[in-house]
Structure 1
């Protein structure tokens, strides 16, 4: 047999757990036949007896090995010359042996010579590039990554694809083996340069596979029962809450020290959460723009943030839990979708408050990044200023001051019977009505939910609807008042963080 006889193939390692329920010749033969029937190109079989039994049942290439626990050597795979000779006599086409540079009963060169003397191929199971270089110099036909992570220290979890790539620089006859537990791992090994891929436990050790699923399911059940820590970080305060579903279990308000910066804001939230017990994940709803966990300000006057601040990374390290960050208006959009006026359906959410923000849920998915930042649209002003500078609560206060009334938006609504106040409110509502019409034409959502302190102020939604009253039914947006108020962002980001954990 030539070394390339197993190239471009999946090799299934049929090695039952010693003493386990499948540790008998009939089971090993059954695993071998099933693997070959499913398209495997070869087998890796442990022990002389099992090699002989499988060779009598199949004609496919067999990599044979013997495992021993020795008192005077850490080498376990085919340590003796007689092991190699007996495997060859039992029908193995390729003999695998431990090729690590450790104390051993037989030198690597002696093992290779014994294997070649029986007319078989020698496969060196290596832990590093140096092992492979030495084995190839001694005449090995094939090298494998089998021993990576098994020569001392904690056993890794992921396969050593870097070693596979390094071995490929030495020879085309590379077998990837070790901790390849998913089809994606196997494909990645091929991309790293492997000529063949060995998969064992994931296919032929139900005890191990069951354990992986048991651990994953157990962790998921444990996390499912824990609440989520939700943070709403704004320009004046951080609202922290412990949330389970639509229920807020604990809550606290933390003043935002604007000069302290994001790390200090996270520290302050962590100090509060420390007394609340465990949580499955952390979600942060923040003013500004978030993409790939990086946080930036769209309007630094609201809250100054260093550009592309790594909020998800810093938050995950600070809280020791999966951490998700999204824009606060987008979080509120999801909250209204899941628990509020959206009732699980698609919608666009507009929050009209000091500024104007929003979000979009389409196809049951929240759009991230810049999606929904409606207050930053500049087309109504011809590019001169963002829309929120001509319709938001902040703009309303500025207009009031301009005509001699130093009041905030709530007081303007309270005086809407006066001409100056009614003019300001009506202008804002008219501009938001145009925005709703544009949103309907661009996205055709089944619902536009209106929220925020201004959006939910008495009579504001009715003014928007009056401005849209003349539209044909097929063009008119369906508007509704948001239901969750100030808790929309907290509930939304908590739900998103749980799904992301």
Structure 2
């Protein structure tokens, strides 16, 4: 797919995040491939996935565009979503359609700035679609200036600055403000637990909505049921 075809495919659609970390019971590229297939059969327009191994398997199972990340911890930085060029290269080795990375204002591994990293990617892979995972409207604005094609609310509530916030607080205020503040597509992601919430995100003006735990993490789903009946 061309970049325009990828964005057209995802417009106003559901993207399902198929991820399971090493400590989780479903951690397996085989399982994530089948999870992505189930999502495709259910009508998902795209998949978000973690690691080149999972993405390679997912691409064998489905024909949907894949938003890829690599989660990796570095001792000198809180940034862990595609933090360095190493992770970018891993994702490109399996022809990831769109690469998402932490685009918050936090310090990055090795002292490399976000601007420097984006410049490196642009020089080597000028046509690669890039998604900025942000936590604030200001970070979304900066990401657009740096040349990201898409911004996503992925990290709202996961940084010190936004601790305790959710995209649905105050009638989706941060989502609406982000949509108004940038001209690139805004994807809604993070704590979208119900179909109604997903529709609210689209009604608020976002380009597409990403749902993960509410669909693909049975331990989280079970926990919400248990909490409700306890």
From 162, 168, 177, the counterpart of 1:159: 168
CA contact (8 A) 1:85 1:115 kept: no
Alpha-carbon distance change, 46 to 71 in structure 1, aligned in 2, over 3 angstroms: same
Alpha-carbon distance change, 15 to 142 in structure 1, aligned in 2, over 3 angstroms: same
Helix, strand or coil at the partner of 1:37: helix
User: Equivalent residue for 1:110?
Assistant: 116
Alpha-carbon offset, residue 57 of structure 1: 2.4
Superposed counterparts of 1:87-236, under 5 Å: 87-105=91-109, 106-116=112-122, 117-118=124-125, 119-152=127-160, 154-156=163-165, 159=168, 161-169=172-180, 170-218=182-230
Helix, strand or coil at the partner of 1:91: coil
From 52, 55, 62, the counterpart of 2:59: 55
Partners of 1:172 and 1:97 lie apart in 2 by 16
TM-score normalised by the chain length of structure 2: 0.89
Partners of 1:96 and 1:156 lie apart in 2 by 21
Unpaired runs of 5+ residues, structure 1, are 219-501
Partners of 1:4 and 1:111 lie apart in 2 by 27
Alpha-carbon offset, residue 115 of structure 1: 4.0
User: Equivalent residue for 1:272?
Assistant: none
Say if 2:88 is the partner of 1:79.
no
Greater RCO between the two (CA within 8 Å, min separation 6)?
2
Partners of 2:120 and 2:88 lie apart in 1 by 7
Superposed counterparts of 1:291-302, under 5 Å: none
Alpha-carbon offset, residue 154 of structure 1: 4.5
Alpha-carbon distance change, 164 to 115 in structure 1, aligned in 2, over 3 angstroms: farther
User: Equivalent residue for 1:263?
Assistant: none
CA contact (8 A) 1:84 1:111 kept: no
- Give the strand-richer structure, 1 or 2: 1
Alpha-carbon offset, residue 158 of structure 1: 6.0
Partners of 2:212 and 2:20 lie apart in 1 by 9
CA contact (8 A) 2:49 2:55 kept: yes
Structure 1 runs of 4+ aligned residues shifted over 3 Å read 113-117, 153-160
Partners of 2:142 and 2:184 lie apart in 1 by 16
CA contact (8 A) 2:33 2:57 kept: yes
Partners of 1:18 and 1:208 lie apart in 2 by 16
Alpha-carbon offset, residue 69 of structure 1: 2.0
Helix, strand or coil at the partner of 2:61: coil
CA contact (8 A) 1:115 1:122 kept: no
| Count of paired positions | 218
Unpaired runs of 5+ residues, structure 2, are none
Alpha-carbon offset, residue 38 of structure 1: 0.8
TM-score normalised by the chain length of structure 1: 0.42
Partners of 1:110 and 1:14 lie apart in 2 by 30
Deviations 1:278-325 (A, max 9, x none): xxxxxxxxxxxxxxxxxxxxxxxxxxxxxxxxxxxxxxxxxxxxxxxx
Alpha-carbon offset, residue 108 of structure 1: 1.9
CA contact (8 A) 1:4 1:173 kept: no
CA contact (8 A) 1:148 1:178 kept: yes
The alignment yields a C-alpha RMSD, in angstroms, of: 1.7
Deviations 1:89-144 (A, max 9, x none): 21211000000001112322233334443332010001101101111101000001
User: Equivalent residue for 1:38?
Assistant: 42
Alpha-carbon offset, residue 156 of structure 1: 4.0
Deviations 1:381-400 (A, max 9, x none): xxxxxxxxxxxxxxxxxxxx
CA contact (8 A) 2:133 2:153 kept: yes
Alpha-carbon distance change, 171 to 151 in structure 1, aligned in 2, over 3 angstroms: same
Alpha-carbon distance change, 136 to 77 in structure 1, aligned in 2, over 3 angstroms: same
Higher alpha-carbon Rg? 1
